[in-house]
């Protein structure tokens, strides 16, 4: 790579991000940044850091009351998903979206190293031969209603892997819940 | 319900904008998570554009999560979340840095960044629920540790740095000159800063995160040139030089150059063959290079300077330099004597 090429990279990489950020954050951008500088040292940054701590812009707003609500944020998508993998392609579907895994296809629910990850729509379009989808309702997905009897019966001898979908997108299907006991309802116009 | 669908459309539009920044190595997924049931729906989306979510928002709301997944090694990164509910304000958290890389926003320990928080749907009045009157912003920082890359990071261990309350609709911008990620050596911190917006709890719903986004912070690179010493006199061939590069920014081009004279920042010299190193990765890299057989660059005797430079989205940084004298002229001193 010659000097001209390096200079081109330098110009292209600096040009728009600096301009974009400066357009939003004028106070942050020195008017004339040096074209080249020595790498920042701990001492220089410690001084800036100290100032940043003192001038934290969020401290200008009223302080929030109460304790940290963060709890445990979502850790990773993989632990919330099942994997479908075949022919060098793979995709992720929500846990409990796979309703049936025939024994012969158990291997296809493990990620094969080197596979290309695809979104569901693209993966399904290329693997219709061994995947069957079953459209479920919102109530069925929440476990409030059972799957249709004929659908459940079809599973018993289905050669294909079965995925629950809602409007074409994979959806988790929760275990059926016990029907809610009847509860009294209040009416506003009840008279004593 | 129509208004909810409209809100979802706006949200998906926003996340799809982010998704458009994906590179070939990453695949994006949008998940709609219903509350309180926990049902998850995979909202397949194109890289750009917008769409209505056909899955209606549940009684306590729905959370939308934008993930990007790297196939090798198989790793997922949460890019953005948004929460939609009947009585819940809407918030967006957008971070800006000088590095245009996506889908995971990043910057360097010595560079500025900013966060824009837009809140709408806040109400006022004595009859509206508490959760509709204001939202809380929380700023968390978390170190990846020495050499860490954030993979399998337990984010529940993040440190809460600041918290504030917003009671008015509109946009707030917060600018930071440098990172606050913890670390003894401020030039070598690596980690992430996260900004999250939460609702207040009321009788209808618990505290709920309605938006969150984060930026990765990578260390400042350092390097050395060994094999040449300051002021060294070179009489014959140039010695072999070992170039050590540590924590090179994930998007950087590093090289060694030489030029006649004393060291002076901004001087454009001749690039030493074999010294150019291009890094295009998602995490910092370290390398060791060996330079030899570069004598042809020195066309004159005298004082020369060798510099190690790295070019990043933030500009050009000099990591190391050394000056030395080249004196390869052969002087023959002799006497000519005649004898009759």
More confident residue, A181 or B195: B195
Kind of pairing, strands B285-291 and B241-248?
antiparallel
A20 touches chain B (CB under 8 A): yes
> Which of B29, B175, B251 lies at the smallest CB-CB distance from A57?
B175
CA dist A45 and B25 (Å) reads 34
**CA–CA separation, A170 vs B156, rounded Å?**
29
Write the burial class of residue A187 (CB in 10 Å: 0-12 exposed, 13-18 middle, 19+ buried).
exposed
B288–chain A nearest CA distance, Å? 19
Could you report the per-residue pLDDT of B221-262, keeping only the tens digit for each?
999 999 999 999 998 889 999 999 999 999 999 999 999 999
Q: Evaluate whether B202 touches B135 at the Cβ level (below 8 Å).
A: no
Average pLDDT over residues B126-152: 89
Residue A78 DSSP SS3: helix
pLDDT digits (tens, 9 = 90+) for A176-189: 876 655 444 433 33
pLDDT attached to residue B16: 40
Residue range B270-283: average pLDDT? 95
For residue B287, give every residue at least 6 positions away whose Cβ sits within 8 Å of its Cβ, in sequence order, or none: B245, B248, B277
Residue of B nearest to A110 (CA): B74
Identify which has the larger pLDDT, A88 or B335.
Answer: A88
- Which tokens is B43 given? 């909202």
Least confident residue range of A27-36, B83-92, B177-186: A27-36
Q: What is the pLDDT of residue B215?
A: 96
Interface subset of A 101-120, CB within 8 angstroms of B? 111, 113-120
Is residue A89's pLDDT more than 80?
A: yes
Record: contact A92-B29, CB cut-off 8 A = yes
Phi/psi at B180 (nearest 5 deg)? -115, 15
- pLDDT value at position B125? 83
Give the tokens for residue A179: 């029907």
Q: Are B210 and B91 in contact (CB under 8 A)?
A: yes
- Name the residue facing A3 among B140, B154, B271 (closest C-beta): B271
- Cβ–Cβ below 8 Å for A64 and B110: no
Kindly report the nearest CA distance between residue B26 and chain A, in angstroms.
8
The predicted pLDDT at position B308 comes to 98
Instruction: Give the residue-averaged pLDDT of B43-72.
Output: 80
**Closest approach of chain B CAs to the CA of A154, in angstroms?**
24
Q: Which chain A positions have a beta carbon within 8 Å of B109's beta carbon?
A: 40, 45
User: So what's the ipTM on this one?
Assistant: 0.78
Tens digit of each residue's pLDDT (9 = 90 or more) over A44-57: 999 999 998 888 99
Interface A-B, measured as beta-carbon pairs within 8 A, has a size of 263
Q: What is the pLDDT of residue A177?
A: 77
| Span B123-142, average pLDDT | 88
Q: Which domains does chain B have, with CATH numbers?
A: 2-218 (no CATH), 222-326 (2.60.40.3880)
DSSP state of B156: G
Tell me how far CA of residue A192 lies from CA of A18, A128, A187, B268, in angstroms: 72, 64, 12, 93
pLDDT of residue B129: 80
Looking at residue B188, its pLDDT comes to 97
């Amino acid at each position: 790579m010659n000097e001209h090429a390096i200079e081109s990279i330098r110009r292209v990489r600096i040009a728009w991000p600096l301009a974009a950020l400066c357009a939003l954050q004028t106070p942050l951008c020195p008017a004339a940044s040096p074209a080249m500088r020595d790498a920042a040292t701990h001492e220089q940054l410690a001084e800036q850091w100290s100032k940043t701590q003192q001038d934290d812009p969020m401290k200008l707003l009223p302080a929030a009351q109460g304790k940290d609500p963060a709890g445990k944020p979502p850790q990773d998508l993989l632990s919330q998903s099942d994997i479908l993998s075949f022919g060098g392609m793979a995709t992720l579907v929500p846990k409990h979206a796979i309703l049936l895994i025939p024994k012969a296809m158990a291997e296809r629910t493990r990620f094969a190293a080197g596979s290309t990850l695809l979104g569901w729509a693209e993966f399904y379009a290329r693997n219709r031969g061994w995947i069957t989808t079953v459209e479920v309702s919102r109530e069925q997905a929440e476990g409030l209603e059972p799957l249709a009897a004929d659908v459940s019966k079809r599973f018993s001898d289905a050669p294909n892997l079965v995925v629950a979908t809602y409007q074409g997108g994979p959806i988790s299907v929760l275990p059926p819940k016990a029907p809610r006991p009847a509860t009294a309802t209040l009416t506003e116009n009840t008279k004593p | 319900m129509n208004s909810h669908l409209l809100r979802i459309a706006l949200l998906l539009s926003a996340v799809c904008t982010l998704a458009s920044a994906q590179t070939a190595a990453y695949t994006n997924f949008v998940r709609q998570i219903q509350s309180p049931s926990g049902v998850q729906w995979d909202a397949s989306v194109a890289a750009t554009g917008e769409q209505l979510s056909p899955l209606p928002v549940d009684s306590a709301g729905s959370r939308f999560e934008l993930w990007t997944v790297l196939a090798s090694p198989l790793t997922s990164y949460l890019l953005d979340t948004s929460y939609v509910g009947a009585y819940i304000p809407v918030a967006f958290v957008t971070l800006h840095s000088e590095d245009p890389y996506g889908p995971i926003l990043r910057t360097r320990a010595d560079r500025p960044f900013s966060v824009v928080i837009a809140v709408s749907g806040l109400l006022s009045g004595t009859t509206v629920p508490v959760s509709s009157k204001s939202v809380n912003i929380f700023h968390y920082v978390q170190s990846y540790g020495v050499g860490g890359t954030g993979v399998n990071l337990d984010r529940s261990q993040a440190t809460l740095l600041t918290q504030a309350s917003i009671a008015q609709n509109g946009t707030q911008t917060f600018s930071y000159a440098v990172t606050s990620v913890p670390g003894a050596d401020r030039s070598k911190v690596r980690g992430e800063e996260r900004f999250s917006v939460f609702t207040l709890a009321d009788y209808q719903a618990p505290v709920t995160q309605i938006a969150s986004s984060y930026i990765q912070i990578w260390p400042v690179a350092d390097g050395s040139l060994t094999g040449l010493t300051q002021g060294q006199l070179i009489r014959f061939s140039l010695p072999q030089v070992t170039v050590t590069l540590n924590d090179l920014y994930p998007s950087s081009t590093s090289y060694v150059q030489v030029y006649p004279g004393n060291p002076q920042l901004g001087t454009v010299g001749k690039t030493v063959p074999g010294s150019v190193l291009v890094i295009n990765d998602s995490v910092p890299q370290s390398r060791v290079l060996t330079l030899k057989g570069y004598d042809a660059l020195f066309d004159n005797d005298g004082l020369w300077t060798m510099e190690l430079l790295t070019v990043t989205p933030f500009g050009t940084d000099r990591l190391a330099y050394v000056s030395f004298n080249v004196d390869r002229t052969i002087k023959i001193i002799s006497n000519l004597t005649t004898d009759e």
